Copies of this chain bind each other. A is one copy, B any other.
Amino acid sequence: MRIPILKLNQYLLISIQTELDDQTALQFQEDLLGKIHEEGSNGVVIDLTSVDMIDSFIAKVLGDVVDMSSLMGARVVLTGIRPAVAITLIDMGIKLEGVSTALDLEQGLASLQQELEG
């Protein structure tokens, strides 16, 4: 299955509400980069509110997607990381360095707007 990517003005919004298996995560990576290219988006919010668990592979894919989007000129903000997910990531030594985060979708969008629109 594919994760839907919404376009709102120049931004892309993604809410991950499914268990991210390896194949879905890689498909999402490809879809998102394609969509950034296609729509000329300069900002992306990935909302993880509904994600209960992230393993090291998924964390790597998410980190990579942020770096890849950045290379393409799009800023990514991760939002809604749950306590359990934050705990697991740090326990696994995964820091998602250089990745912007925010509490929820609204604040993620606000943070993009502030950064990109000044």
A interface residues, Cβ below 8 angstroms from B: 1-9, 13, 15-18, 47, 50, 104-106, 109
Instruction: Offer 10 A-B interface pairs, CB within 8 angstroms, sorted by A.
Output: A1-B1, A1-B18, A4-B4, A4-B15, A4-B16, A6-B6, A6-B13, A8-B105, A8-B106, A9-B106
A1 to B4, CA, bound (A): 12
* Interface SS, A side: loop
A13, B47: Cα distance in complex, Å: 13
| Copy count, this protein chain | 2
Residue of B nearest to A3 (CB): B4
What residues on B are CB-neighbors of A104 within 8 Å?
7
Contact across chains for B6 and A47 when beta carbons are under 8 A apart:
yes
Q: Which residues of the partner chain B approach A47 to less than 8 Å between Cβ atoms?
A: 6
Chain B's nearest CB lies how many Å from the CB of A90? 27
**Within the assembled complex, what's the spacing in Å between the Cα atoms of A3 and B47?**
15
A5 to B38, CA, bound (A): 23
**A106 neighbours in B (Cβ, 8 Å):** 8-9
